[in-house]
Structure formats: structure tokens, C-alpha cells
Structure 1
């Protein structure tokens, strides 16, 4: 039997996770696990796991070859408690030398911000030492490293409140009131000391088996992100307790916003569901901004009337109307809770039993998504209004724009009363964050398209309908910044792009990790039956990842007279769609491209129907379609006059479907007609001007007199053509 590798033995010895005696004890289960196979390190790791010398989390990290990540300062990680995003993670740990378990929150701010953030957190730690209540937990130590900050806190045993709900549903009224009493006492003391939590959610409330409640991470979020960011990639649960005054403004977290968030969380614990259950973060925010929380007794009849009134006061829309003395609320929590009876469970539901078919129809209506659309149509307008307010106050946008403007870039002017932004000169302009209720048009001049330079933040447009005309978006030539995810991030119901250019300086051999997409799109309201229409005409995209990336599947896409040079795909679909996606391609030229359409990366089903005409496709592997992940795909290609430079394949070999379709799943099918391989001669190299991409096609019979591919006369002028003017 082979022994464990010296590297594994040394690492576990340094972390005090396995002694020589432990290795001897592990030999027997290791032999049973391996049977007659070689005893690799993974077998030894499984044996130590069976002996409970390692936790499942530690074993997983070791199997992945990431054992060094278990060491954080003088601590060894035991388990992950929550969060594993790009900016922070929380872990259960203990000192390598032994001792009780602690919670480590690892923050990953930008290196330039580490000194100032560390100073703020030190002030929180010093102030929190005066806390006497055990129901609020703030960090008590801080470790600063070159690229991260580690906060050390007491570990609160038990599960977080969301896990409690998922395991057992709504909590009894008496239990919630006792949790509230404890949290009122602790949070009230923190507020008197001038400390604000800033991130009260169910995940921040931990409850032990003895019903001892703790509010963890006191003061951390207020230092990390003092202003609310509604455009970050977070689930709707993050925003369930957002106070109305923070939405669409630069208002920081305050004691009043803490009270609102805690009231929303307690409402959730009583009812077993959030006050505004929505599948979209924007709809959640819009509801909190525009609607009062309903009475909790409508959903949990055993809640005492007195405590229901407490929750109504805590979640008042006006911050001045919320309770300021949490000690008084603690006293009011001593009201007697009543047991839920069968009569209470039917309170307010007589109509449901009298007309059961009405209830069934309502359920089907809600599941169809139509209920969300009609209920939140006004709320979507509210979202646009609050986004308009935040577009001028977003901390990320301001810092980015200030940096750009300091380099003599022009600021994009604000929209006029009709939502039109006229870029009267060629710029360059600094990419900005612009939001408008209603339609938004960003327009340059045909003869001198406006140049917008993109650094680490994209041009972010948010409106009901967005139109881009006569604009050139290019990445900065600087090397100190990371590549943005897209040159233009569009959040709108419908999108039209005419006579625009998208160019990235992130070449194939760039030191940057990835090239951006030209355009990334997602709808504001995915249930809107009138949305999801995308049009791209007379445009050029060079050296970008994807010409258009769809975070949500649209309904219809029209691409006309578009030149794509050295892109990985023309269209990329991340999420499955509820209905087939209708794609029309006409007069498209793709040079040195990866594929035409890429789909997948999430489980689900997607159907894409393409009608392609009069196009020239130079594809690296000859594949029209590329599938990623476990998405079930149906892909059809119809049309005429599409010429490829090599033998036509529907799917790339590396992404071809190999699994048999499961019962009930969308059938995996790919079929094409109207595509033929021919002899294509381009006027010049792909790195040359647009005119070098004019194609001469032979060897393929054609019905039309005009050559396939782009119409050069309709393309916008290149940046070099007017930069010197």
C-alpha cells in the first residue's frame, strides 16, 4: 500500500489536522477503500474523513489541490458558512494551536482601498468592545494582508434564520417574538453607541437550538458598501429588507433602515415567506419603494395584534415614523402569544373554500408569470424612476467617471425631456450610467460618430426601450485596469442599435484575462409580453468575446448588415427561454470567428430558430452552433445564400451533444438548410480596414445578383477616419 505523499503529510501536520498516530489509524480504512487499487492521496483523505480528523469541507479542498487555502493567518478553516463571491466569504475556523471556533469573514477589496477600509473597521471593533448584549456580534480582531482583510468574530452556534425556514417553515409566533426581544435589546444598544448594521437579512440572524438569537456581522456592510448598489449580481433575497429611502438614492444605512430591515425579517419569520415574493431583484426593490408591507396577521393569524402593530411601525415608509427606542419595543414584546388553532388557520379564507375553482385559477395565473407582470407593471416604472436618481449618485459610476474626466474625457450630457442624448462632437466621452423612465436614445452624428471610451466599467443604459445610433465604443489602451464584462450593458425591454462600432483592445495575446462582449442585454421585466425584441443593423464588432450576450433569452433578434471580426460568437445565450427565440440574420460577414450562436451554461431548455440569408461566415471550426453546459437545445437553421469558408457543421466537436435526451426533456436536435461551403476570397486580412472584409464568392450557385456579406456603403466610419479631424 502506497503511503500518502510527503507534501500532504507536511501540510496536515502544519495545520495540526493529522498526527503520525492519525495516519496509522487511517491505514486500515484506507486499505478497505482502495481494495486492490493504488492508494492515492485522495484515498488517504477519505480515510481521514471517515475517522473525523477532517471535515467534509477540508477534504473537498484537499481533493481539489487547494489545501493551502485552509490556512488563513494563524487559523485553519473548518467549513464555509456563507458567501463565496468575488468580494467576501465567511468561514468557520479555529486557531491552528487549538481553541474555540470563530467566524472568519474574508474581504477582498481593491488594493488601493484596503488601508482606508481597515481603518474604518478598526473603529467599529473599538466601539463594539463596549457592547454588553450577547445578541449582537461584531468582529473583535482584524488581520490585514496584501490583497485581503480578515475579520475575526465570535461564532454564533445554530442555523441562520433562512435555513430554519427552509427546514421547518414559518416559526411559531411565540418563538419569533422571543427572537425579536433579544435582537431589540442588542441592536438598540448598538445604535446607542453609534453603530449601524447595514445588512440585516435572514442570513445575518442565527438561532440556536435553545432559541438564543444573534445578529452577526454588525457594522461590516456599512463600511464595505455604505450606499446601496442595485445593479450588482445578487439574488432577490439580498433586497428583501431594503428600506424605501435607500432605493434610488445615495442614502447610507442608518438606525432607521436597520429597524425597517429587522421588521421585514421578523415579518418573514412569522409568515414563512417574504412580504413581497418576487423572482426578480428589481421587482422586490420596486415593491418596497411603492407599497406598504401588508399586515402579517393576514398570513399568520396566531401573531398577537399588538406585535403585528409593532411590525407595521417598524416598516413604515417614512423613516421618522419608525420606532427610535428599541428598548421600548423590547418591553412590548412581552405580550402574550396565542396558539394557532384550526379556526385561526382559516381566518380570512372563507371565499377560498366557497369558490375552489377561483383559487385554482389564481394559482395557475400566478405560476404563468402573468400575475407578476400585471401586479408589478407600475412597480417597473418605479424602478426606472429610482434608477434615474441613482444614475447620478452610484458610487461605482462616480469614481469611474471622475477618473476618466481627470484624463480630459468629456462627460456624456444628460438626456433631454424626451429621453434623447445628443453627442454633438466626436469626443471621446467617458462611459457613464444613464437611466430614463420611458425610451432612451443615445445618438452621435453620422459623419463623425461619437467615441465612448470604456475602462473597467461599461456604458450602462437603463430604460423601457434603448436606442444606440452613430456611436463607437472602444476599450481604453491602459494596462492597469481589468477588462469590463461588456462595452455596453443594456437593461431594457427592447433594444435597437444602428450604425455603431464596438472594438476591444484586448487582443488574443493580451495580459488581461478575457475580452468583453460588445453588448450585454437583459430585460427589466422578463414577464412583459411586449419586450425582448433586439435589432442590430449596420454595425461593426472587432475583437470582442460576443457581439451580443443575452443574460435572459429574448423573443426576437434581427441582425442586418453586421461585420464581426475575431469574435468568439455572434450571439451568446446564457439562460434558457420560455419560448423559442426567433433569429434573423441578413448580410452578415463573420471573419476569423468562433461560432455563430453559443448557448448554455445553465441547466434548462432553449430553442433557437435561425433564418439566415446572404451572409459569409469564416468560422474557425466550421460550426454554426456551440453548446455549453447541460442546457437542452433545439437548433434549426433555415434560409438561403449563406456561404461558409469550410465544410458546414452544425455543432463544434467539443460541444456536440453526446447524452441521450431524458424523458420529458426538450429533444436535442440540430438541422440546417440554405448553407453551403464555397470558395471565398477576401479583399485583405482580417486586421485590415472594413473594406478588407469584402468577399468574392465562387463555386456556389446563387439566385441573387448582389454578392453575399456586408454592404460596405452602409457601415459607420472607423474611428481612425475622423480621429485626426
Structure 2
């Protein structure tokens, strides 16, 4: 009895594989002459019906084994007499299906039979590119057979119904990370041998300009990475050029400081002579100028010192760089400015020439005495180029901007480089005079050598590498604010008028500030001047200072590392238990046009509510911090809030007057950045027996979670209730070198009813002393819907109280297992007082609590080890006693640095 016309065909397994017809996911089976197969498989218009010799033949594609591909098959009706005698036990191999064995004839009665055509080739997916490309990739150890297998799924997805050409495989290998886009383009359009450069393999192309071609290459034998520069020019192939380059290599090879990346080998290739230099990973200073604008004076002073040290080394080796410009200076993550293209330009171009193919910035540092003459490069002309380069970093443009090289050279020859303070007034006098002495038009007025200029260079309060390392880290960590979806709304006439006035005011402020882009101070001490000394004549003017340096208008962030710990006086109202009221207190000043408030060290201010359009910065440039006393709950509203070297005295706030005041200090902003900021809460609870929270953070735009961030660096929260309350989901929290002492809770989160990215708390070197809970997470009947919490601790110390304390406490009306799947705690090298709970659930309606333990709960990096503090207060630990369960992998002890925490 055959199936009716509306039924689907039953599944039938033939041999060791399952055959499927056409586009359907239903297996092919047999039927009767009255069944749907008499008209072809139902729903398959891609099957062709052929009539011949009294039989109906349906041809189409069938797939076998699930992955081998597809082959063409036939349905023949009625059964030919010559096939009736075939035994169904006979089987053979299906073309293109090595794993599939099938009987030649599968019958059910005398009506429908399936016959495979051995003459038609199967369409199977190749497991690798073409043989030539596969052999080349394997021979040069770019890919392995395992990589090809990993790319099969990508190739099927990219190829779709098309054949998998080599270009498809190249795209898949790029997605896998085995090829760079540059290599894929070359392999697709040119022979593979074009990627071979002597003993090296091209990885990427760095500068394809007309002046020179530079590649990043990998040595085929050693695997080392180099920068390969193809020498171009009329004298590049001469024997004299080769001899001079070999002499340059011999001079630089014996002792090369870290700030110099000189050539190490000259290769003869079919492309021409190629010069190899060690590869340095880092952006050029030109890229950084384009990205952030002008550099802060402290960073420019550090760059100048490192470049003078490198030039002094050149003088000892009797070598000149010859091409000092921003493109040839790279800034590494280690805080080192590296000189590349060392000594090459004086060899290829001994005299300055002007070509239409050259970029005009090649002449930004050309010394006037070399223009129009055959005078070679000298140390004095090198110092002139250095002075112009530092001038450009401070201002954000070259001294003589012009699109015509001839005009630029004429200005260098006929004009003095302007005083940098005319366009960058925040530049300290010592640095401005040092740059002016380097960029003098008269070579006789310049220093005769880099060593002399280095001795006269203004001294720095920190190592130059430390300053530049912090500067590079600040640039890398600058968040990118995503664009929020815009809603089209019709504005009223009043709104248009307000918008026009705001734009006019903003343009006026931007015109008056000359495009100022300043950065946070880098911990430079202020010079001390006497009444008889002018700023330029004072001996202390040799010290570079960074007063009045703030973050840029669009991103006001303080420095990534705090300054040295100031010398606190005993009269500090926050550091003293008696809290004496100072004789003179003033209200918090109004912010300037860029939202900055400069505070005086050792002075006490009274808090008041502030609302700023744009960023808000409160900082004290002095060594002693400024104190802000809060008597009633205060509120600060801005697009971003940054504080530095400030102490908040919250001891007088024991009651919240109304429900709108959720904490002693309420911040409504999208981003918070606190460096060397202290909070002292009350030691006695209020009339309700509770402490008000110290700090509450509420977002301005709840939809823009990715740009929201709270960063604490070298901060301290002492006494009081909860240190930080966050009533809504946020993006990221970063704590480093922070102390929580005597608080009920360090951080408290509330939930949300929508799906959001995970809330991430990353803490390094934090110390909690005598607190109840590190993190408290609130929910209604369980964890907030769509919210996940990820806690990452490194080298931290958790000293928790005995009663119902926990590293993480979840609070809701009833317990559910969803808490375990929504929480994750990871890290390394963290200490926890023995006998304390890691995760605890607490009922918000009763005293019921439950310690959470489950194999699905991820908790890593916590060690229960006994430890003691060195003093009655503070974060200093006694030296840890040896313990079998204690494995400290670092030389620095866990927890925050007690000497750098605000008192």
C-alpha cells in the first residue's frame, strides 16, 4: 500500500549513509505507481521528468552521508526486466562518496526503483585549495593541514552555491588569522613567489609611498620579525652606497641602546637592495598627533630627553640620523621613543633636494644653513630638526605650515621659529627656552652637540620611560563612545534659538582657546620662586611643571598613575579623628569655561551642587590635597567627572533629608575617573541606626552602557555605610590600588529588566579591611533579567567581618538557582580570611541566608590564608608567614600600596 499524495516519504537507510533528494531534508524512499513519485518527489520542481521506452525517469540531485556532497540519481518506473534479476545484496561504491555503500537496485514491488548513474561525477567539496597553492603554503609554514580542516566550514559558508575557488580559501585563512590581508591580496593577484624576499617572507606593507617601500617581514628560518626597506633612488645600486651602508651597520651593531632601531643587514634581492632592521611595534608620533592633537609639556620634555640621549649615542658612534621627523619616531608600550630609518637618508640624499614626489613634511626640520648649499648634515643641523619636532608636538602643527616645499624652505631660511608659548601658553618657561635654543636660525647660537644640550635639558621629576609609559597607556585606554541611535524629533522655535546660542558660544570659546588640547598633569613639582627672580631666571625653572594641564575637552581623564603621596599635615580634617573645623573655609569655586576647578592644597572648601554642560574636573596641583567638606548631601552633574588629589569629608552627613538624596555625594554622569581621592564617612550611624552611602553613581544616558565607566586609582573609602552605590546597570568598573576600610559594603549593584552586556568589575591590588561585603547584588525575586555580573580580582586582600559576611552577597525575596549561572568570580593571587564565605544569598524580607556552593558556580583565584595588618589602621600587611597553601608568584605583596593611599 503506497503513501497518499499528501504524505511525506518515509526515511530509508541505504548502506551506511542516508540519501536525501534535491533540496528536501526528507530521505528518498520507494513508493508505488499510484504514489507521489509517479510525478516526481513532492515539492521538488528541480527534478526533470523524462519519458522513454514506456518508462518515466526522474533525474535530480541526492546527497549522501550528510557531508560528502551531492550526486545525481535516477528514479525509474516501472522496473526494467534486466534489473529484476539483480540481487539487492550486491553493493558498490558511490562516486564521490567513499564512505557510502549502496545496492545497485532498491525495490519495493515492481513499481519504483532507484538507480545511481556512475558516469556522472559527484559534486564534493574539496578539503584544501588548489594543489599549487596548498604546496606553497605548506612549504613556507604559513598553514598546516589542520588549518585547512578548520577552514572548511568557513569555505562552505563563503562559497554558498559557487565552487570554492582559491580566493574563497584565502578569505577563510584571513578570517582564521593564518594570513594577513596583504598576503591574501598578493596571493590572489600575483604569483606566490612575490611574497618571498630573500630569506624572509612578506607579512605586511607599511609605507607604500613614492619615497620608500617598507614591509614587515618574517625570517623563514628564525621566525624573527624585521622591517625591510627597499632602497630607492639614483644612487641606491651603487657600490659606494653599499659600502657606506655596511659601514653604518658596523658602527651601530656593537652597542645599540633601546631607543635606536638601526639597520642590521643588507640583502641583495631581485627587487633591489633591501635593508633589514629589527621590528618595533608601536604607533608613530605623527599618528598620535593626528589622534589626540598636541602633547602635554611633561610628555614633550620626556620625549626630548630620550631623543637627546639617542643623538648623544650617535655622536659617540660618529653617526647622524639625518631624517628626524614624526614618521620616524615610534612610541612603544614600554615608554620608549624609538628612532627608525637611522642614517639612511644622508647616504641616499647627501644634499637636500626638492622633488614633486616628496611629501612637504620632509622639510619641516631642514636647517637654514643647509638650504641652497652643499653643506652636509652636522650635529647642529640635527638639533635644529629636533627643536622643530618638539615645537610641533607642543603646538600640534609644524612651525611653518605650508603645502609647497619651496615656501616651507624659504620660511626656515628667513624666519625665526616662534616662541612656543605664543600658541601653547601652558608650556613651562624652562622647556620653552630649551626648545628655542635648539631651533635657533643662527647655527652659532645652538649647542654644538647633543651631549651639551642633554646636560642643559630641564630635569624631570620621574623617569622619562615612566612618563611616556603612562602617556601611552592613557592613549590606549581612551574609550570610544559609540553612537547612540538617534530619534528624529521636531524642535520648537525656542529650542532652535537655544541651540543657536549654544553653538555660537562654543565657537567663541574654541576660537579663544586656539584649539587647546591639554592633558592631565604627570606629577611634576611646582617651581619655587623668590621675589627677586623671574620665571625665566629662577633656578627652579629648570624643573618642568605641569600646572593648569587638564584633560581634553572631549575626554577629561586624569593620568593613569597617581603622583607621589603628598605629605599630609596632622591638621587635615579627614585624616584626624577630632575633625577640627578650619579657621577659613570657602565655597567650591565655579568651574571655568572648560569645566575645570583648580583647588589649593591644604585648603578646605564647602561642597555645593554643580551642574556643568560637558566635562567637570576637580584637581589640586599641589602636593598637599584639598579638602571638600560635605555637610548636606551634594550633587554633581556633568557629562564626565574627574577628580585628582582631593579628600571628601563626609563625617557630618549622618542623615538623608529626603528620598531624592540617596548618598552623601551623588554623581550623575556617564564616566567617573578618580585618582588619589579619599572619602571619610561618619563613624556613628544616624537616628535610623544606618549609615548613608558615601558615593552614588547614576548614568546620564542609560542606553549608552558601553561608554560608562568608573575608575578608582589610589583611592580610599573609610568608615560609613556602602562606599559606592550603583542603582542601575553600567558598563565597566576598574579599581586599582584602592582601600576599603570600615565600610558596610564596598560596591552595591541594583538590577534591570532588560538584556544588557555583562557588568564587569576588574580590581587589582585592592585591600578591604573590616568590611561586611565586597560586592552586594540586589534583585527582586531573583537575579535581574538579562543581567550578568563578572568579578575579576588580582593580588587583592579581603579582610571581612565574621557575621554573615561574604565576598559577594546576592539579595532577593527568594532564592533561585539563576544566581549561580549569572555570577562569575575569577582572578589570581587573592587572599581571604579563613572561615569567610565567598558567595552568600540573603533574603531581603528576613534574616534568612544561604551559603552558595555548586559545581556550576565559577570561583577562581581565592586563597584562604591567615594574615595580619601591621597597624591598627591602614592597608599595610605584616609579612606573610610561609604556608603550604600560599603560593605568591610576585615579589610585591598582595593588596594596595599603603604608602600611596590617601590618608
The two structures have a TM-score, normalised by structure 1, of: 0.45
The two structures have a TM-score, normalised by structure 2, of: 0.37
More helix per residue: 1
